[in-house]
Each structure stands twice: as C-alpha cells, then as structure tokens.
Amino acid sequence: MAIENNTESWDYAPSLEGTSHIQLKKKYDLFIDGKWVKPKSGKYFASINPANEEVLAEVAHANKADVDLAVKAARKAYNNVWSKMAPSERAKYIYRIARLMQERAREFAVIESLDAGKTIRESRDIDVPLACNHFFYYAGWADKLEYAFPNRKVESLGVAGQIIPWNFPLLMAAWKIAPALATGNTVVLKPAETTSLTALKLAEIIEESGLPAGVVNIVTGFGDTGAAIVNHHDVNKIAFTGSTAVGKIIQKAIAGTHKKATLELGGKSANIIFDDAPIDQAVEGIVNGIFFNQGHVCCAGSRLFVQENIADKVIRKLKQRMDSLYVGNPLDKNTDIGAINSKEQLETINKYIQIGKNEGAEMYQPKCDIPKKGFYCAPTIFTNVAQSNVIAQEEIFGPVLTIQTFRTVDEVIQKANNSPYGLAAGVWTDKGSRIFNLTTKLRAGVIWANTYNKFDPTSPFGGYKESGFGREGGLHGLSGYVKLS
C-alpha cells in the first residue's frame, strides 16, 4: 500500500551506453550489385540523431536511374545465380548474415538508438535480437519449402521491392529480406529517410558474408525513391510497411500490373481490461503497449478500454506508473521513453494532443524533465473520450493513449471494432473462455492475451481492413514471396 501513495520517482544515476565501439562513416553511398556506388544526382542528405539534432552521417539520395541500376542488378543476380543455387546453399548465406549480425549486435543496437531515437533497452533487447532471429528462422525454411507447401510446386517470384518505415528500421529490414531470400528472390530495399544507418550497416555485413553481388541492394532516399521502386516495370513484388496513405498510393500504382503486394499499414489497436484481470500486470501492459518505444509501434495499444467498475483504480495506478517513467536520452539504460523519431512526427503528435484538448477530452501528463534539445514528448493520456473523437479514431503514432470505459463484452467488442484499422488487440482477463470469445470476434490480425507487444519470428503478423493485407513472419510469411501451383 505504501508504494501506492508514493508518487515520487526514484532518481537513478545516468547509465549511458558507450558509443566508442561503433563505426559510422561520414558519408554512405548506395549498395548496388555488391558495390558502393555514388548516387547519379550527386545528392546526399543528413541522417540526424533525434535525441540531440546532431548529424550522424550523410546518406545518398537515390533517383530513378539509381533504382533502375539496382533493379537490373537484382534481376541479373536472380537469373544467373540466386534462382539456380541449391536451396541448402542459399540457407548457408542467410545463416551467415544472422551470425555476423549477432556478433555485432551491440554496434547495431547503439546505431539504432542514435539514428532512430529509440531507447537502448529496446534496441538491445528487442530490435536487434529479433532481427537476427528472423534471419536464423527463415534460413531454416530455405531448403524445406516443399514441407511448407506440401503437394504444391513452389516457385520464387523474382525481384522484390521492399520499402520500410522508421519505427523498427533494422527489424523491418530483417522481416523483409530474410523471407525473400529464403524463397529464392532477390531484393531492392529502401529504408526510411530518417533511419537509413542500420540498413547500411546491414549492407556491410551482407558484403562481408559473401552473398553474391546483386542479391540484396540497398537504396536510400525519400518517397520519390520508394515510388521509383514501386513503379519499376521489372519488379515482381512490393512489400511495404508504413502509413495507410502511402499504402493506398502503392495499391493504386500497381493495380492492373503483374506485381504482387503485401502491405502492413497503420493501426489503432484496442487494449481491453476486464475487472477480473491482474491489475498491476495490466497497467504494466498498458505502459508497454503505448509508452515504450514512444508509441512508435504500428500495433501500439493506443485505445484503452477498461471495464467501468475498475476504471478509477486502473487510471489511478496508470497515472502513478506514468509519474515514474523516465523521458530522455535514448542511450541511458534507465530511459523508458526516448526521442520522437523526427521533428515532423513530433509536430503530428502535438497536433493530435491539441485536437484532443479541443474535443473536450481530459488530458494528463506527468511532470518530467524533458531535454531542451531534441524531439521529446511526455507520456499522455486522455480520459472523457467519445468514440467519435478524432483522437480515438486516427493513428497518432506517439505516446498518447485514449481511455474509454465499457460495461459488457458485447459493448467492448463493438467499440473495439469501430475503427478503420484492425492490426492488433490486447485482452486482459482471468477467464480463458472470454479470451477465446474475444479473439474470434475482434477484427484484428494479432490478439495478445494478458500480455502486449510480444513478437516471435515463428508467428505471423499483419492486419485487417485499413491495416493492410498479407502476413509477415512464420510460415505465413513465406506465402507473400512464392508462386504456388
């Protein structure tokens, strides 16, 4: 009980992860056909550290002609080498990439935190190990496709164009590249413009692994670079993770072409707490679901539904927990909430917080010392939220949570499903039958029970409705990269 009344947080001495062991070049070219090549335009852009706005490196801006070179290299590698290689040989390369990445896990984690603003705790314990595990996992499938798809003829597609976002830069690269290679495709991948560095480090590892030239090409740039991949006539498949707005543009662009697509888009996921749930664990699950990683998670539990009779208690405990969250330097191991990825994203989040206030919802933010330089946002909750409020409908992609209450199971199912999105959901209850009832009725691709944001390479991930289509991860993740007959 004593702890319940203690709203003061402990002061920890800073515990900074060192940066002396990382190697970053001043300038990164494009990785095409196994070589580092200068962008045709001669243009580079800065990749900054959102925690202090310092420039980390200059990165090449690929244009249409560069993308064309990359696609040609991928096609040549596909025709001459990769599609002809024995699957067990392909597996060896994928394993090798996984092992090399694992050996340099610390370097990857630090660079990810520097470039993306995410906490070192997360990049070290989640992003990097999971990225390695995706390569290990899919390496295992490479020579077992006939068992993955029994009694079917399995063929690769050809060249896969892959466009990824900034919230899990290295992990999204792994999600995309590993299954593509395991199924015998070659790759042209574009990281997000604010977080290119770990993809470029991955290119260095790919080079070191001896993977045949052109099998993986990494082109950096902005939306125009992504569009050049999407619209290239010789790309067979587009794999995209990012905003629903760009997902729709891509879908229009490839309509009527031979291109296959998987799209993993936004979310507004419901986290549902019943009165028989273990409250303290649920509160920790709420915090993990929306505040860690700055809410930069497509499946973030951004809409909380609490059963009415426990709402006061849950909100009180949640506020106490928020009071103890550390916002600040992502490289400090004590930090719970790092930097928002970019100035633009911080502006978007602040715009939504203002909208919430204007809509009449009640806001709570703990007092926290926010660094003067860099992009930061305090954890924020809104109560007194109506189902029709903008903050309850639109994806905010920041540490902002809306809280609503419910009385019955049917009511919460209706409210949770009342969203254009359907990526994930969380259900907290002691009752197994209730979990099964909800998992069949909630329109979401992933549903966690008594936990949140748990990932594993063996388990498929993807959405319903405007959250996209196709699945990544697991056996299902192979399907997007093969033709079956």
Considering the rule CB under 6 A, would residue 222 count as an interface residue with ligand NAI?
yes
- Tell me the residue number closest to Mg ion, measured at CB: 115
CB 201 within 8 A of CB 166: no
Considering the rule CB under 6 A, would residue 226 count as an interface residue with ligand NAI?
yes
Tokens 């679901």, located at residue: 289
CB 329 within 8 A of CB 335: yes
Residue 466's binding partner out of Mg ion, ligand NAI, none, with CB under 5 to 8 Å set by partner kind: none
CB 316 within 8 A of CB 361: no
Least CB distance from residue 50 to Mg ion, whole Å?
A: 6
Considering the rule CB under 6 A, would residue 266 count as an interface residue with ligand NAI?
yes
What is the SS3 assignment for 35?
Answer: strand
Least CB distance from residue 483 to ligand NAI, whole Å?
A: 24
Which of the ranges 93-101, 241-249, 370-378, 446-454 carries the binding residues for ligand NAI, by CB under 6 A?
241-249
CA–CA separation, 177 and 187 (whole Å) = 7
CA–CA separation, 203 and 191 (whole Å) = 12
Q: Record the tokens describing residue 55, joined without a space.
A: 């420039």
Residue 115's binding partner out of ligand NAI, Mg ion, none, with CB under 5 to 8 Å set by partner kind: Mg ion
Which of the ranges 33-41, 130-138, 262-270, 320-328 carries the binding residues for ligand NAI, by CB under 6 A?
262-270
Least CB distance from residue 187 to Mg ion, whole Å?
A: 22
Binding characters for ligand NAI, 166-185, by CB under 6 A (x = yes): xx------------------
Considering the rule CB under 6 A, would residue 298 count as an interface residue with ligand NAI?
yes
Indicate which residue of 107, 112, 122, 264 is catalytic: 264
Among 127, 332, 395, 472, binds ligand NAI (CB under 6 A): 395
Tokens 């392909």, located at residue: 90
Considering the rule CB under 6 A, would residue 451 count as an interface residue with ligand NAI?
no
The DSSP bridge pattern shows strands 35-37 and 30-32 to be antiparallel
Least CB distance from residue 248 to ligand NAI, whole Å?
A: 10
Among 241, 288, 293, 329, binds ligand NAI (CB under 6 A): 241
Residue 92: φ, ψ to 5° = -60, -40
Q: Record the tokens describing residue 386, joined without a space.
A: 């109506």
Cβ nearer to Mg ion, comparing 29 with 115: 115
- Angle, helix 169-182 to helix 105-116, in steps of 10 degrees: 130
The DSSP bridge pattern shows strands 468-469 and 260-264 to be antiparallel
Residue 192's binding partner out of ligand NAI, Mg ion, none, with CB under 5 to 8 Å set by partner kind: ligand NAI
Considering the rule CB under 6 A, would residue 200 count as an interface residue with ligand NAI?
no
Least CB distance from residue 52 to ligand NAI, whole Å?
A: 21
Window 349-378: residues binding ligand NAI (CB under 6 A): none
Cβ nearer to ligand NAI, comparing 241 with 405: 241
User: Who contacts 151 (Cβ-Cβ below 8 Å, separation ≥6)?
Assistant: none
**264 catalytic residue (yes or no):** yes
CB 306 within 8 A of CB 273: yes
Instruction: Please name which of 186, 194, 242, 249 lies closest in space to residue 218, comparing C-alpha atoms.
Output: 186
- Tell me the residue number closest to ligand NAI, measured at CB: 226
Among 158, 165, 422, 457, binds ligand NAI (CB under 6 A): 165
Least CB distance from residue 253 to ligand NAI, whole Å?
A: 8
Q: Strands across the sheet with 380-383, in order?
A: 362-364, 380-383, 400-406, 303-307, 270-273, 424-428, 446-449
Considering the rule CB under 6 A, would residue 190 count as an interface residue with ligand NAI?
yes
Q: Which amino acid is at 179?
A: P
Indicate which residue of 132, 298, 299, 368 is catalytic: 298
Q: Record the tokens describing residue 299, joined without a space.
A: 């499946």
Cβ nearer to ligand NAI, comparing 109 with 227: 227
CA–CA separation, 69 and 232 (whole Å) = 11
What is the SS3 assignment for 44?
Answer: strand
CA–CA separation, 12 and 372 (whole Å) = 20
**Residue 344's beta-bridge partner residues?**
none
Q: Which helix (H) or strand (E) holds 102?
A: helix 87-103
Site of interaction with Mg ion (CB under 5 A): 47, 115, 194
Which residues belong to the active site?
264, 298
Question: Where on the chain is the footprint of ligand NAI (CB under 6 A)?
Answer: 163-167, 190, 192-193, 222-223, 226-227, 230, 241-243, 246, 249-250, 264-266, 298, 345, 348, 395, 397
